[in-house]
Structure 1
Amino acid sequence: MSARTENEADPGADDGRAGRAADAATTDAAANTATATATAKARKREQHGWYFYDFACSVYSTSVLTVFLGPYLTAVAKAAADAEGFVHPLGIPVRAGSFFAYTVSASVIVAVLIMPLAGAVADRTGRKKPLLAAAAYTGAAATAGMFFLGGDRYLLGGLLLIVANASLSVSMVLYNAFLPQISTPDERDTVSSRGWAFGYTSGAFVLVLNLILFQGHDSFGLSEGEAVRICLASAGLWWGAFTIVPLRRLRDRAVVREEGPAVSGWKQLMATLKDMRRYPLTLSFLLAYLIYNDGVQTVISQASVYGSEELELEQSTLIVAVLLVQVLAVVGALAMGRLARSYGAKRTILGSLGAWALTLAAGYFLPARTPVWFFALAAMIGLVLGGSQALSRSLFSHLVPAGKEAEYFSAYEMSDRGLSWVGPLVFGLTYQVTGSYRCAIISLVVFFALGFVLLARVPVRRAVEAAGNPVPLRV
């Protein structure tokens, strides 16, 4: 009668243990919530810092590559040309009007040689920030050095362009590689789109300042050439100054290092090329992106030459047109980010490629010396430019195996900038053969048409799964 179990002998003990367990669970839940909140806050801080590299370097793409350097370097090359209109870099006869396009191609080839190694070293050592700083400040210094262009120094201009363009490409490998680390899968379309929006915002702001200086150069006591060179150099100063923000906020992730970075970088580069064959769907996306983005990059770099040389538009008209592109690209990037949440990134990109092809076809028929139609063309470009680039970047981030971000983004950047030498080469050769920039611009339609077909064939959901990543609700 008196025999009882331990629990029966002390029913209060169960209550005490249950209470302590409940308290511990509550404490753990609170700790987990606090940790999650702190993690989210730290992630947002890095995201905000990450946006600012777009804010820093996009001024180079806008003011230098898109607006001022093409027409200015072409004019410098023409000043150095012989009676038949040819310059002779390294003894090779080159039509002065094609020099800029060929130099852009050369800069991309240099970048191809450097980017994969930079990505492999970054992943192997985990030191993305120092490499980003080195690439960014090399590019910024080369851009600032463009102040010294003048007279017939077309070779100096070509050299500085090659250094600046290649440095930008290397820095973007490292910058893009942070995206999978600072955002969750469902955040990436939004984060990537905001980065592009920041970039286009800074591009528009600086372009307004450039327009004021260029239009009022006489009142500032400057010649037109001096005003252009100040605009070029100021882009380098801006690039260097605002790179400080991401360098302060982004953080490197620790990795296990087994050997020196120089050796392991080359080993890992070779391993990366072999490893990518294990993900054929990722490669299929890269191939499609290589093709259509080659068209995008060529339009960006050659539009001002087309406007000034073929359409006979004033430099101030080109600046206003590019400013319009910058403003509408912010709107387009954010709007296409919203469309991607409803329809998926792939469908949204495909729609933008159709719009690109129609825009270039319209550009072929633009009448000369008619700014209003060039502005209409610029508006069409702006609405699709930012979104197609931002969504391509975020879509690719889902196709990258974990731990290989910088390596794979080096391949992506080779598609984004590193292999975008074919378009300028086609553009330059078409002009060299035909003497018509209209024929050169229409030749780029094939890049968007072929890219559309190749992207449409990629099963994106299967590609994300094959890379071992969680599949977002809409891709």
Structure 2
Amino acid sequence: MTGAGGAEGPGGPRASASAGPEGDGATEPGGALGPAAERAARRREQRGWYFYDWANSVFSTSVLTVFLGPYLTSVAEAAADASGYVHPLGIPVRAGSYFAYAVSASVLLSVLVMPLAGAMADRSGRKKPMLGAFAYLGAAATTGMFFLDGDRYLLGGALLVVANVCFATAAVVYNSFLPQIATPDERDAVSSRGWAFGYAAGSLVLVANLALFLGHESLGVTEGTAVRICLASAGLWWAVFTIVPLRRLRDRPVLARRFPTGGADGVEPDAVPSASAPLRGGLRQLVRTLRDLRRYPLTLLFLAAYLLYNDGVQTVITQASVFGSRELGMDQTTLIGAILLVQVLAVVGALSMGRLAARYGAKRTILGSLVAWTATVGAGYVLPAGAPVWFFVLAAAIGMVLGGTQALSRSLFAQLVPPGKEAEYFSLYEVSDRGTSWLGPLVFGLAYQFTGSYRDAIVSLVVFFVLGFVLLTRVPVARAVAAVGAPAPERI
């Protein structure tokens, strides 16, 4: 694709020979950017890339975590029959379960959409238009939640499914830019800064939304209207700040990918997409990618480790409020305060763990974070009830390891992706996250069912961190990077 600075090559933007005076290090013979100009162009893209985390994180925080669940449930209850059921597509569903079912449907659909979108992004080389399309469709659906009132539960479910699928699919395309905009030695720091931007935005918007929600009477609006404004504001925020990455990120030409069993000269047949049949080519590439996974067993081993420990992380996040309210007797104000504390400290944690990774390597730092997760979950088992101070201490511990674990997992996986297949493999990364997000809650629920104790349920999650730790120790990162043919960072 041709950008404002001229044609782009696989390693990044290229400028014309007239882009700067000769001899200043900005250009080299033939029009290629010099090292200093390449670094400057890369930094510009990285700063734009951070802003998509800033843009989309408010959907996860304000919409999914705080406001939409209780509100959509109340809308479904308003539409329920005398027995408490609603009937989407003629299926009887308890109103109290409608939100959970809608989330499950969106996760299932996203698992089907993400690999196809990733394959098409890599085949076409037009990642930026795909990022914009999914981001703005998701933002539009979220903004449309302003019209979710009365008994419009079907509208709410449909908007939730569209927004959550687009949120997940846009994240695949967004993450796939990381190996292209950062050198191997920069990826831990760049990924950590992106997560920090996201948590900072989530905290900022959540504070504003909570101020509106708690003060709605003084502002002359109903509680329902306040919630709908909060939901719509997340969509508007997502849309406005997506402009920044779309202006700064650049598409790269598609790389011809080589395999031992490829076509003539070792080049994979049909590796470069034809403009006439992107969907058909995307489906063929998806099948090829699934077969190709067998070539990279060490990348698969990392995905298995990530699947386990990340499921533990996600379950702690989703079940902490239940544990706090039911087992520890925390009120709603305390729970909201704990959520904000986690968001704020996740910024600090992501940046701090990024610095640790620069010194000790991403793998060692993630392993250290899993030890911290195990200790934190174990501490929850002995946390006294009715003691908000200790609950905030627990929330602080979660915040300090949350952002860093997620950020470094993303950057470490970026090292293990075959060049030219970034979006395809990041779709599998997201599938490993979303496609198995029921395992942790299932273990949590079974533990509570058999013991009747949320303390036993929360401590049962230790198994995910321990197994994830064990599998991750068995991933020889240097060999895994060499196996996919990618350049290795100085410290791994």
Q: Same fold (TM over 0.5)?
A: yes
- Contact 1:136–1:168 (Cα < 8 Å) also in 2: yes
Tell me the CA shift for residue 313 of structure 1.
4.2
TM-score w.r.t. the length of structure 2 is 0.82
- CA 1:291 to 1:151, structure 2 compared with 1: closer, same or farther past 3 Å? farther
Answer 1 or 2: higher relative contact order, Cα 8 Å, separation at least 6. 1
| Residue of structure 1 equivalent to 2:257 | none
Q: Which of 236, 257, 261 in structure 1 is aligned with 2:273? A: 257
| Residue of structure 2 equivalent to 1:358 | 375
| Residue of structure 1 equivalent to 2:126 | 127
1:109 aligns with 2:103: no
- Greater helix share, 1 or 2? 1
- Contact 2:45–2:181 (Cα < 8 Å) also in 1: yes
State the distance in 2 between where 1:435 and 1:123 align: 49
Tell me the CA shift for residue 150 of structure 1.
4.4
| Residue of structure 2 equivalent to 1:387 | 404
1:459 aligns with 2:459: no
State the distance in 2 between where 1:352 and 1:114 align: 31
SS of the aligned residue for 1:393 comes to helix
SS of the aligned residue for 2:369 comes to helix
Larger-gyration structure (1/2): 1
| Residue of structure 2 equivalent to 1:52 | 51
State the distance in 1 between where 2:52 and 2:68 align: 22
- Contact 1:341–1:474 (Cα < 8 Å) also in 2: yes
1:155-194 correspondence runs (5 A):
155-194=154-193
1:280 aligns with 2:279: no
State the distance in 2 between where 1:30 and 1:313 align: 59
| Residue of structure 1 equivalent to 2:414 | 397
Q: Which moved more, 1:144-153 or 1:250-259?
A: 144-153
| Residue of structure 1 equivalent to 2:206 | 207
Tell me the CA shift for residue 212 of structure 1.
1.4
| Residue of structure 2 equivalent to 1:219 | 218
Q: Which moved more, 1:98-107 or 1:326-335?
A: 98-107
Tell me the CA shift for residue 343 of structure 1.
1.6
1:20-419 correspondence runs (5 A):
31-32=27-28, 35-76=34-75, 99-150=98-149, 153-255=152-254, 256-258=272-274, 260-307=277-324, 313-364=330-381, 366=383, 370-419=387-436
Q: Which moved more, 1:419-428 or 1:90-99?
A: 90-99
State the distance in 2 between where 1:223 and 1:368 align: 34
- Contact 1:366–1:374 (Cα < 8 Å) also in 2: yes
- CA 1:329 to 1:290, structure 2 compared with 1: closer, same or farther past 3 Å? same
State the distance in 1 between where 2:447 and 2:96 align: 11
Q: Deviations over 1:143-202 (max 9, x none)?
A: 223333445555544433222221111001000000011011100001100101111111
State the distance in 2 between where 1:415 and 1:206 align: 29
- CA 1:77 to 1:437, structure 2 compared with 1: closer, same or farther past 3 Å? farther
Q: Which amino acid letter does the alignment assign opposite residue 395 of structure 2?
A: A
- CA 1:254 to 1:362, structure 2 compared with 1: closer, same or farther past 3 Å? same
| Residue of structure 1 equivalent to 2:464 | 447
Tell me the CA shift for residue 372 of structure 1.
2.8
- CA 1:163 to 1:28, structure 2 compared with 1: closer, same or farther past 3 Å? closer
SS of the aligned residue for 1:470 comes to coil
- Contact 2:58–2:201 (Cα < 8 Å) also in 1: yes
- Contact 2:25–2:36 (Cα < 8 Å) also in 1: no
Q: Deviations over 1:339-359 (max 9, x none)?
A: 111221111111212222332
State the distance in 1 between where 2:161 and 2:131 align: 18
Q: Which moved more, 1:237-246 or 1:67-76?
A: 67-76
- Contact 2:195–2:350 (Cα < 8 Å) also in 1: yes
State the distance in 2 between where 1:429 and 1:89 align: 29
Tell me the CA shift for residue 432 of structure 1.
7.8
State the distance in 2 between where 1:439 and 1:77 align: 33
Unaligned runs of 5+ in 2: 1-21, 255-271
Tell me the CA shift for residue 99 of structure 1.
4.8
- CA 1:30 to 1:196, structure 2 compared with 1: closer, same or farther past 3 Å? closer
Once superposed, what is the RMSD of the aligned Cα atoms?
A: 3.0
| Residue of structure 1 equivalent to 2:12 | none
Tell me the CA shift for residue 82 of structure 1.
7.7
State the distance in 2 between where 1:28 and 1:216 align: 57
- CA 1:89 to 1:437, structure 2 compared with 1: closer, same or farther past 3 Å? farther
| Residue of structure 1 equivalent to 2:8 | none
